[in-house]
């Protein structure tokens, strides 16, 4: 190949595709040819690894079961990370084949519709670029502005080498984008912005509070499948999707059809963290189930992957009319592309610790005093039991126990709110706190409980408590 780097190929691809009169044949474009070679090598390496990486066999010469456990632990972690980051569970059949989202990404210039999705627009919608998917010199060139971030051809090039976090581009034999799928990392990973805002190294488990999921879905040219499911029209679906805003998603919309709260605000909730869940009983704000239940729920019902999901609670036509009508409580697909992956996926997620806050982001002396308030006068540790910072065991509360409305709680089977673990709070400041971001900052949360529980905290106590929360 005449171009020494993938980045050079990105630049060349943009220019190549922009040549007047050029008929899009992405298979011969510089970057796509490079990506094809890379994928061929990766596929060969994966096949070889799978041939070697067989389940452990009994060893008559002394291999112990401890060895078996250790081998299994490594395998589960590696497989789980790959699944979390790169597996679509076959959901491209929905996002691409049914909704045609890939056509909006490609644009009319490359066989799609509209202007296409440029990197600048993609970053503006909160999508992230994995800098480690590109070689260092490519990262440097991007940082120095040698790539046209307003050219949708560059987005297609980045998709071809799996550089867009949580999004998988499917290419046809001529290299054109023929479908698109999403992965767990789409909502539950971000990047460290090491190169530019939105471009850096992956941070798995961190909620992407920049991601405008609704606006991205609304780009799809054909939303009839969602409109039919919700028994409305496509214009209404787009209005609802665009009401969510950055960092929010409404998982219950396709269950109960409730797009807005009684106060007229969106029913969408903030994307939760997928880290620090080891030892935590329930996974979601309203306690639908444990980690593996929610993984199966999301992979089948929200990502629209091809698997098996059983939850008879969704058969209730009064509480979950959309789900009951669609049979979402009893989903079965052949082949099942999800169920066999749930163990490793759960294992990897439970391996992700809550990140520690950056040095200098809180006052250590004040935090030490705040810890005393947390465990004492503030009564925080009553529910946020250290070191889990949620209740060991049943960690659910009625709305009147925590002084808020019960709208979101009533959209779940338990009709309760979960005590959210507090580790890594600094990653969740954007968008506010609580399930819907109703409290703009930690001070608002502290003030709420001070009033509701009649704590009578002094200003110094509140200030030190906030510093302690920032230190978790």
Domain co-membership, 342 together with 429: no
Q: What is the C-alpha separation between 470 and 472, in angstroms, rounded?
A: 6
Domain co-membership, 429 together with 313: no
Q: What is the C-alpha separation between 206 and 404, in angstroms, rounded?
A: 26
Reduce the DSSP state of residue 235 to 3 states and report it.
helix
Residue 212 inside a domain? The answer is no
Catalogue the long-range contacts made by 110-115 (C-beta closer than 8 Å, 24 or more residues apart).
Answer: 110/17, 110/24, 110/26, 110/152, 110/153, 110/156, 110/176, 110/177, 111/24, 111/176, 111/177, 112/177, 113/221, 114/221, 115/152
Q: What is the C-alpha separation between 311 and 328, in angstroms, rounded?
A: 8
Residue 462 inside a domain? The answer is yes
Domain count across the chain: 3
For residue 150, give the nearest of 23, 24, 18, 31 by alpha carbon: 18
Q: What is the C-alpha separation between 66 and 465, in angstroms, rounded?
A: 44
For residue 396, give the nearest of 471, 305, 284 by alpha carbon: 284
Q: What is the C-alpha separation between 353 and 136, in angstroms, rounded?
A: 28
Tokens of 406: 């019960």
Domain co-membership, 319 together with 371: no
pLDDT value of residue 36 = 39
Given a contact cutoff of 8 angstroms between Cβ atoms, the answer to whether 245 and 129 are in contact is no
pLDDT value of residue 25 = 45
pLDDT value of residue 55 = 63
Residue 28 inside a domain? The answer is yes
pLDDT value of residue 333 = 98
Residue 443 inside a domain? The answer is yes
* Domain housing 106: 6-54+100-204
Q: What is the C-alpha separation between 346 and 289, in angstroms, rounded?
A: 13
Domain co-membership, 335 together with 400: no
Domain co-membership, 298 together with 319: yes
Domain co-membership, 111 together with 190: yes
Domain co-membership, 261 together with 329: yes
- Among 184, 204, 224, the domain-final residue is 204
Contacts of 318 (CB under 8 A, 6+ apart): none
pLDDT value of residue 137 = 80
Given a contact cutoff of 8 angstroms between Cβ atoms, the answer to whether 276 and 354 are in contact is yes
Dihedral angle sign, alpha carbons of residues 181, 185, 187, 190: negative
Given a contact cutoff of 8 angstroms between Cβ atoms, the answer to whether 345 and 83 are in contact is yes
Which alpha helices (H) appear in 171-223, and where do they start and end?
185-188, 213-218
Given a contact cutoff of 8 angstroms between Cβ atoms, the answer to whether 195 and 202 are in contact is no
Domain co-membership, 327 together with 450: no
Residue 90 inside a domain? The answer is no
pLDDT value of residue 141 = 86
pLDDT value of residue 6 = 45
Q: Is the pTM of this model over 0.85?
A: yes
In a structure prediction context, what are the per-residue pLDDT tens digits for the chain, which is 472 residues long? Answer: 433 344 445 445 444 444 444 444 444 444 434 433 433 444 444 444 454 556 656 666 678 999 999 999 999 999 999 999 999 999 999 999 999 999 999 999 999 999 999 999 999 999 999 999 997 888 888 999 999 999 999 999 999 999 999 999 999 988 899 999 999 999 999 999 999 999 999 999 999 999 999 999 999 999 999 999 999 999 999 999 999 999 999 999 999 999 999 999 999 999 999 999 999 999 899 999 999 999 999 999 999 999 999 999 999 999 999 999 999 999 999 999 999 999 999 999 999 999 999 999 999 999 999 999 999 999 999 999 999 999 999 999 999 999 999 999 999 999 999 999 999 999 999 999 999 999 999 999 999 999 999 999 999 999 999 999 999 9
Given a contact cutoff of 8 angstroms between Cβ atoms, the answer to whether 198 and 210 are in contact is yes
Residue 241 inside a domain? The answer is no
Domain co-membership, 264 together with 400: no
pLDDT value of residue 353 = 98
Residue 197 inside a domain? The answer is yes
pLDDT value of residue 48 = 43
Domain co-membership, 308 together with 423: no
């Amino acid at each position: 190949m005449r171009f020494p780097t993938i980045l050079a190929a990105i630049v060349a691809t943009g220019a190549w595709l922009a040549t007047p009169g050029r008929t899009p044949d992405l298979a011969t474009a510089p970057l796509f040819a490079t990506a094809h070679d890379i994928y061929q090598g990766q596929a060969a390496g994966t096949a070889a690894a799978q041939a070697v990486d067989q389940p452990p066999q009994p060893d008559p010469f002394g291999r112990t079961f401890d060895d078996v456990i250790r081998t299994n632990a490594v395998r589960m972690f590696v497989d789980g990370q790959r699944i979390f980051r790169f597996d679509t569970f076959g959901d491209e059949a929905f996002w691409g084949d049914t909704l045609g989202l890939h056509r909006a990404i490609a644009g009319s210039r490359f066989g799609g519709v509209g202007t296409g999705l440029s990197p600048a627009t993609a970053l503006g919608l909160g999508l992230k670029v994995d800098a480690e998917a590109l070689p260092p010199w490519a990262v440097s060139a991007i940082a120095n502005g040698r790539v046209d971030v307003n050219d949708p051809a560059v987005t297609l090039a980045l998709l071809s080498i799996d550089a867009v976090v949580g999004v998988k581009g499917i290419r046809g034999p001529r290299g054109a984008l023929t479908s698109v799928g999403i992965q767990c990392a789409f909502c539950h990973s971000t990047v460290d912005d090491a190169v530019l805002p939105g471009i850096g190294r992956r941070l798995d488990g961190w909620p992407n509070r920049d991601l405008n999921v609704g606006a991205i879905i609304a780009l799809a040219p054909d939303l009839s499948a969602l409109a039919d499911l919700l028994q409305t029209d496509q214009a209404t679906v787009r209005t609802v999707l665009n009401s969510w805003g950055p960092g929010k998603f409404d998982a219950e919309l396709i269950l109960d059809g409730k797009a807005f709260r009684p106060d007229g605000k969106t029913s969408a909730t903030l994307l939760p963290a997928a880290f620090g869940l080891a030892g935590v009983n329930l996974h979601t704000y309203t306690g639908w189930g444990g980690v593996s239940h929610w993984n199966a729920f999301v992979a089948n019902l929200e990502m629209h992957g091809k698997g098996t999901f059983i939850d008879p609670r969704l058969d209730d036509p009064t509480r979950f009319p959309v789900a009951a009508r669609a049979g979402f409580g009893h989903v079965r697909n052949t082949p099942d592309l999800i169920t066999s992956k749930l163990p490793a996926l759960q294992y990897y997620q439970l391996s992700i610790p809550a990140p520690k806050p950056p040095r200098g982001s809180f006052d250590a002396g004040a935090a030490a005093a705040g810890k005393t308030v947390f465990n004492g006068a503030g009564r925080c540790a009553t529910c946020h039991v250290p070191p889990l910072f949620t209740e060991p065991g049943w960690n659910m509360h009625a709305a009147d126990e925590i002084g808020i409305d019960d709208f979101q709680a009533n959209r779940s089977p338990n009709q309760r709110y979960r005590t959210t673990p507090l580790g890594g709070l600094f990653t969740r400041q954007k968008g506010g706190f609580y399930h819907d971001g109703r409290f703009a900052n930690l001070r608002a949360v502290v003030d709420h409980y001070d009033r509701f529980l009649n704590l009578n905290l002094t200003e110094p106590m509140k200030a030190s408590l906030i510093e302690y929360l920032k230190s978790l």
